[in-house]
Structure 1
Amino acid sequence: MSQNSELEISVGDLIPSPTTQYQAQTILGNGVYGVVIQCRNVTTDETVALKMIKSMENIDCAKEEEVTLQTMKALHSDRFNIVRFIESFTYKGHYCLVFEHLDMDLQKFKQISPGQHLQLKQIRPILQQLATSLEFLNSAGIIHADLKPDNIMLVDHVRKPLKVKVIDFGLAFDDPEEQIGDLLQPLWYR
């Protein structure tokens, strides 16, 4: 399962947190800063997504993301189509953030759709949920700064078709004045 020399995780590995242990099942995604691993909470048998930061250099960014996630959680963000944050901890020097497990991102869903595009009857409920998320973020004073199809996840495309949640608050911020001149969004989505 290892996809980074600094980060060795294998299927079946137990990753302990202060509250439970997570058993690694498969890699869901691998980005510049971290890897997302599908895990099973050994105590509750719940499937979760564990985002493990690859490098010590990026721990400060991960902790800033956690502050944003904790702020939103206190405001019941899971009621507004925002991914549910569960906990954070450090494992072998890697900072970990644990989230509810979601099905697939909007980009992948589009690829499996007939004709590889979404129909209007699919777009409407998705946009309505995104508007709910954005209204919540605005009321909380948070700017996502990286909203793209890869960061919009379907909860369960079979049992809850078109139910979506926003993920990845690694670039989120709450004071636009502090960000003047910073590159905030990947160039592809400008």
Structure 2
Amino acid sequence: MAATAHPLMVGQVLQSNSTHYTILQFIGEGGFGEVAKCWADNSSSAVAVKILKNEYLQDIEDEVSMLKTIGSLNADNINVVKFYEQFQYLGYNCLVFELLDVDLSHLVCSIKVHNIRPIAEQLLVALQGLKSVRVMHGDIKPDNVMLADIDEDPVRVKG
């Protein structure tokens, strides 16, 4: 992984108004910033915290508004990731989501043909749910489709 965009480290505690998130490891990086797997004290469970680069501050309000709109739907029924909260820590905007397993691009070469249809159907349900609240997904690609829990259900996806 490339150099971090912030001074945050594994073991550090991020504090929101509702809980403390202990950084367990950094699990992803992109143009937006990084994603950390964290332990949420309030729920005693692991979550994903997206730590945004400061240059994306102007876009945060629109994204949070969209995430709250999507949150009005039942995330499990429409196959979208659950958004829990947004907070600032040391000047960094942090978005907290349910922790999912791996993205679909990790399985593209090994996916079995009979698994394509259930995955496609789940993605269509997700798109239909987004359409119902007038939200359009602008970046559908295997990197942005996540397997919920590959051990429990190897074809359960969320977009």
How many residue pairs get aligned? The number is 159
The structure whose Rg is larger is 1
TM-score normalised per structure 2: 0.94
Letter in 1 for 2:3: Q
Q: C-alpha separation between the residues in 2 aligned to 1:2 and 1:18? A: 30
Change beyond 3 A, Cα 1:88–1:2: farther
Aligned residue among 132, 144, 156 for 1:139 = 132
Contact 1:77 1:136 in 2 (8 A): no
Letter in 1 for 2:99: H
Partner of 1:158: 151
Can you give the 5+ residue segments of structure 2 that lack an aligned partner in the other structure? none
Letter in 2 for 1:48: V
TM-score normalised per structure 1: 0.79
Contact 1:11 1:24 in 2 (8 A): yes
> Between Structure 1 and Structure 2, which shows a larger proportion of strand residues?
2
> For each residue in 1:67-109, what CA deviation from the matched residue of structure 2 results, as whole angstroms up to 9, or x when unmatched?
1000111133342000000001000011110000000000012
Can you give the 5+ residue segments of structure 1 that lack an aligned partner in the other structure? 111-115, 167-190
> For each residue in 1:117-153, what CA deviation from the matched residue of structure 2 results, as whole angstroms up to 9, or x when unmatched?
4222110110010010011111211111100000000
CA RMSD of aligned residues (A): 1.6
1:57-136 map, 5 Å: 57-110=55-108, 116-136=109-129
What is the Cα deviation at residue 2 of structure 1? 8.6
Q: C-alpha separation between the residues in 1 aligned to 2:2 and 2:89? A: 15
Runs of 4+ in 1 over 3 A off after TM superposition: none
- SS of the aligned residue for 1:104 comes to coil
Contact 2:18 2:42 in 1 (8 A): no
Partner of 1:43: 42
What is the Cα deviation at residue 44 of structure 1? 2.2
- SS of the aligned residue for 2:88 comes to strand
Contact 1:102 1:155 in 2 (8 A): yes
- SS of the aligned residue for 1:96 comes to strand
Q: C-alpha separation between the residues in 1 aligned to 2:76 and 2:56? A: 26
Partner of 1:28: 27
